[in-house]
Structure 1
Amino acid sequence: MPLARLEVPDLEHGLREKLIRADRLRPGDRAAHSTTIYGVSLSGDMTDTVLGHAGNGYPDASIELDELTRVSLPWAGLEAVIGDVVDHHGDPVGVSPRTMVQNLVERFGALGLAPVLGFEYEVWVFEADAGRDLPLPARLARAGAMSDLVAELARRMAAIGHPLSAVRSEVHAGFIEVSIAHGPALHAADGAARARRYLAELCAERDLIASFMAKPFGGREGAAGHVHASLERDGVNLFAGGELTAEAAGFVAGLVDSLPDLTLMFNPHVNSFKRIDPRMWVPTSASWGYDDRRAACRVVLRPDASARVEHRRGGADANPYVSASAVLAGGIDGLERDLALPQPRLPSRRTVPVSLGAAIAAFEDSSFVDRLLPRRFAEAFAATRRAELARYRAWLDENITPFELARHVERA
C-alpha cells in the first residue's frame, strides 16, 4: 500500500510527521490530525491548549494541504506535503505558526514589500550508544562520518528544492553549522523546518543523533539558530548598497525594539538561556551594529543579494516558524510605526529577559504581542512555555543535583 507523508507545523519541533495512505493525501484532499499537536512537548508531555484540552476531549482538526510544498523524497520512496490546521469550515485556527508567517508576509505585501529569509543552525552530531542510560551520548561523531553525512544531506535538500548554501565545521568535532539557501519568507521557513527533520532522520539511519539543544555542554559555546532577513521591492534588495534605505532602517529598528517582548520566541526552553553569554558572541541586549557579531542584529551591507540583517539571539532549539514570525512581526512593526533606528551598539533601555520565567512574563505582559500576534497563538505558546518551566522546577524539587552532592556530601 503506497504511503505519503503529511508534515504539520507544531509549536516545538517545527514539523511533525504522519504517514497516510497516498490515495487519501491527494491534491484537494483534507487530512485529520489531533489538536494535541500544539500541546505536546519535546519529551511527549501534554499541555492543554485552546484547541485541544480535557474539556473538549482533544478532538481531531482538519488539515489543509499546501500543494506548493508537495515534494518527492526519492530516498524514502514517497511524497511529502505540508498541511496547516484549519477548522471544519477551512478557516485558520489562529494557533499555527506557519499561518502566522503567511499572514505577516501579507502585511509586508500591503506595503509593496517582500521579506526574504535565510536560516542557519549549529548542530551537534553524536554517535548513538546502544543501551545507554546517560544524559548525553558518549562520543561526538568523527570527521569521516560527518563528511559523508553532510554530502547526503546536501543531495536530499537539493532534491526537494531547498538547497544548502553552506556547511562548515565548528571548533569541536561533531559540531557543524548548516545554512539553508535564502528565499521568500514562507518558503525559507518550510526549508528550515524540513532541513531539521530530514537531518535528524538521516542521522538516525546511520546510528547518529542530531541534537539542536542550545547548550548541551557547560564551558563550551552553544548551538545557534540565526535568522537572516532582507526586504525586496520589485525584486530589488533594499539592504543592498552602501547605506541602509529608510525601509531597511525601519525594519531593523523594529527588530531591536521588539526583542525584549519576543525573547520567548527565540529562546523557548530552560536550557535556551544557558547559551546566552556575550563571551560566546551571544547578545544579551537589544542592539544592532554594522557587521558586529556582538550585537543582537548584525547588519551586513553588500552590493548584492547577500546584503541583510542577521538576527543572532535565537538558539538552534527555536522552532523556525516561530522565530521567523518573531523577525517578521518586529520588522513590520518598525515599518508601520516608522520607528527610528538607534545608534549602532547602543543597547535598548529595556531589559532583555535572562531566564525562561522572565521571558514568559515579558511575552504575556506585552502590548506588542497583543497588537501583532494572533491571540490564540500567544495563549497556546505561553501555556506550553509555562508548562516547560513548571516541569523543570518540579524536577529540581525531586532530584539532587551534582552541585549539591559535590558541595555537601563530605562538608555538611
Structure 2
Amino acid sequence: MERPLARLEVPDLELGLREKLVHADRLRPGARAAHGTAIYGLSLADDMTDTTLGHAGNGYPDAAVELDESTRVDLPWRGIEAVIGDLVDANGDPVGASPRGMVQHLVERFGALGLEPVLGFEYETWVFEADRDDRRPGSLAHAVTIADLAAEFARRMAAIGHPLEAVRSQARAGFVEFSIAPSPALRAADGAARARRHLRELCAERGLVASFMAKPFGDREGAGGHVHASLERDGANVFAADERLSAVGARFVAGLVASLPQLTLMFNPHVNSFKRIDPRMWVPTTSSWGYDDRRTACRVVVRPETSARVEHRRGGADANPYVIAAAVLAGGVDGLERRLELPPPRTSRAVPVTLGEAIAAFERSRYVDRLLPRRFVDAFAATRRTELTLYEAWLDRTITDFELQRHVEHR
C-alpha cells in the first residue's frame, strides 16, 4: 500500500515558502525533518549565493527543521496535509537567517511592552494566460472566469484558516487585488506566504499564471504588497484614541517613518521593485505619514477606533511576506522602545532610489545587530548583491531597443 504524502513548507528569503513532499510519517507531530541551509542563498531563479550558513567551504550542510504544529492544515483539494517547519540550531532556536524566526523574535519584543502586533496583508497580482507567447497578462475572457477563480481561492484560504476579506479585479484585465483578514503578526505572515503559493497553484490548474512581479509593464501600474498594522493590549485595539493616534500608535508610526530609509531593501528587494515607485500611481517616493493619505508611505486610519491601523504602502507584491513583516515590526518596536516623536504629517525623508543604494543603506543601518539578526542581514544583502551583479552583467552585454532605434540607421 502506497504511503500518503505530506507537504513541508520552509520559509526562505525570496518566495516566502518553499515546499517539498515527503512521506507523511516523516512529518507526524513531534517529528523533526531536515533541510539544506542553502535555502537562504537561493534567488527567484534559483541562482546560488554563498552565505555564512551555507557555503562552499562547509559543503552547504543540512539543519534540523522544527515543525510548528499550529500551522498544520489539511489541503482537501490536494488530499494531503501541510505544515510549516523552520530551520533551527543545536539549541532548537530558529537559525539566524530565518525570516520567520526574526518575526517571532520581534513579536516577543512587543510582548515585553505588553503589546501584540496585528498585521493584515493586501496584494495586487497579475493573472495571465500561461500559453501566451509574450508572457504578458491576458484578459480573462469572461467576468465569470474571474469570479470563479476568486471564489475558489477564497474557499481554499478559508479552509486553511486564513480567510480573505476581499478579492476583486482591478480596472485592467488580469489585475487582481486580494486582502487577508488581519491576525497576530506571525500567523498573518504565514497566511500571506501560503496565499501567494495557493493562488499560483490554483492558477496553474486552470492554465493561468499568477505573477507577483512589482512592475511587468512600464506604462501601467505596478503590483503593491501593502501591510496594515495595529497594536492590541489584552485583546483591544490601542492604536488610536479620540480619533487620533494614541501615544503608542504615534511612536509605532514614528518608528516606521524613521526606519524606512535604512530598511527600504526589505520592502523593495529587486531591481524591478524600484521601477514600481511612481507617485502618479500612489506609490510613495519618500518616507512620510498622514491621516488617510494614500500619497504617503504610512497611511494612518483611525476611524473606527476598533480597527485603527497604519497601512504601510511602500512594499511591492514581490517582497517576501516574512521579510516585509519583520521590517514593519522592527521599525515599529524601535519607535516604541526609544519613544520616538512623530514628525508632522507629510514630513518627508529621502529613501534609496536604486537597489544598489538600498543595499548600502541596509548594511550600514543602525538596526543591524540591535533589531535584526546579523546572519539574516548578511544573507539578505548578499543575495541582493547577486541579483544586482547579474542584472548589470546582462545590461552590459544587451543592446536595447532604445539604442537600436536611435543608432542603427546612423552607423
TM-score range, shorter chain: over 0.9
Question: What is the letter of the counterpart of residue 294 of structure 1?
Answer: R
CA displacement at 1:155 relative to structure 2: 0.2
Task: Answer whether contact 2:138 2:173 (CA < 8 A) is retained.
Answer: no
Matching residue of 2:37? 35
Written as runs of structure 1 = structure 2, the 5 A alignment for 1:197-346 is 197-241=197-241, 242-346=243-347
Written as runs of structure 1 = structure 2, the 5 A alignment for 1:81-120 is 81-120=83-122
Query: Matched residue of 2:386: which SS?
Result: helix
CA displacement at 1:243 relative to structure 2: 1.1
| The one of 3, 6, 9 aligned to 2:8 | 6
Question: What is the letter of the counterpart of residue 379 of structure 1?
Answer: D
**Count of residue correspondences:** 407
Residues 141, 97 of structure 1: alpha-carbon distance in 2 compared, 3 angstrom cutoff: same
How far apart are the structure 2 equivalents of 1:138 and 1:358?
A: 31
Q: Deviations over 1:34-85 (max 9, x none)?
A: 1111111111111111111111111111100000000000000000000000
Does 22-31 or 303-312 show the bigger shift?
303-312
Query: Matched residue of 1:369: which SS?
Result: coil
Task: Answer whether contact 2:14 2:43 (CA < 8 A) is retained.
Answer: yes
Matching residue of 2:406? 407
How far apart are the structure 1 equivalents of 2:363 and 2:137?
A: 39
How far apart are the structure 1 equivalents of 2:106 and 2:244?
A: 26
How far apart are the structure 2 equivalents of 1:405 and 1:369?
A: 45
CA displacement at 1:138 relative to structure 2: 6.5
Residues 91, 370 of structure 1: alpha-carbon distance in 2 compared, 3 angstrom cutoff: closer
Does 82-91 or 214-223 show the bigger shift?
82-91
Does 216-225 or 296-305 show the bigger shift?
296-305
Query: Matched residue of 2:72: which SS?
Result: strand
Matching residue of 1:148? 148
Matching residue of 2:367? 368
Instruction: Give identity over the alignment, percent.
Output: 75
Matching residue of 2:355? 356
Query: Matched residue of 2:287: which SS?
Result: coil
Question: What is the letter of the counterpart of residue 342 of structure 1?
Answer: P
Q: Deviations over 1:332-384 (max 9, x none)?
A: 00000000000001112xx2000100000100111122321000000000000
Does 313-322 or 399-408 show the bigger shift?
399-408
Residues 162, 138 of structure 1: alpha-carbon distance in 2 compared, 3 angstrom cutoff: closer
CA displacement at 1:149 relative to structure 2: 0.7
Task: Answer whether contact 1:285 1:347 (CA < 8 A) is retained.
Answer: yes
Q: Deviations over 1:103-142 (max 9, x none)?
A: 0000000000000000000000001117x4x4x2462433
- TM-score, reference length from structure 2: 0.97
Q: Deviations over 1:276-330 (max 9, x none)?
A: 0011000011100000000000000112432100000000000000000000000
How far apart are the structure 2 equivalents of 1:123 and 1:49?
A: 31
Query: Matched residue of 1:230: which SS?
Result: strand
Task: Answer whether contact 1:7 1:81 (CA < 8 A) is retained.
Answer: yes
Task: Answer whether contact 1:215 1:221 (CA < 8 A) is retained.
Answer: yes
How far apart are the structure 1 equivalents of 2:56 and 2:366?
A: 30
- Unmatched runs of 5 consecutive residues or more in structure 2: none
Query: Matched residue of 2:110: which SS?
Result: helix
CA displacement at 1:388 relative to structure 2: 0.6
Task: Answer whether contact 2:126 2:137 (CA < 8 A) is retained.
Answer: no
CA displacement at 1:397 relative to structure 2: 1.3
Query: Matched residue of 2:336: which SS?
Result: helix
CA displacement at 1:240 relative to structure 2: 4.0
How far apart are the structure 2 equivalents of 1:230 and 1:341?
A: 16
Residues 249, 75 of structure 1: alpha-carbon distance in 2 compared, 3 angstrom cutoff: same
- Unmatched runs of 5 consecutive residues or more in structure 1: none
Task: Answer whether contact 1:129 1:137 (CA < 8 A) is retained.
Answer: no
Task: Answer whether contact 1:240 1:303 (CA < 8 A) is retained.
Answer: no
Task: Answer whether contact 1:129 1:138 (CA < 8 A) is retained.
Answer: no
Query: Matched residue of 1:162: which SS?
Result: coil
Q: Give yes or no for the alignment of 1:54 onto 2:53.
A: no
Task: Answer whether contact 1:8 1:16 (CA < 8 A) is retained.
Answer: yes
RMSD across aligned C-alpha pairs, in angstroms? 1.1
Does 366-375 or 385-394 show the bigger shift?
366-375
CA displacement at 1:239 relative to structure 2: 2.1
Task: Answer whether contact 2:63 2:88 (CA < 8 A) is retained.
Answer: yes
CA displacement at 1:386 relative to structure 2: 0.3
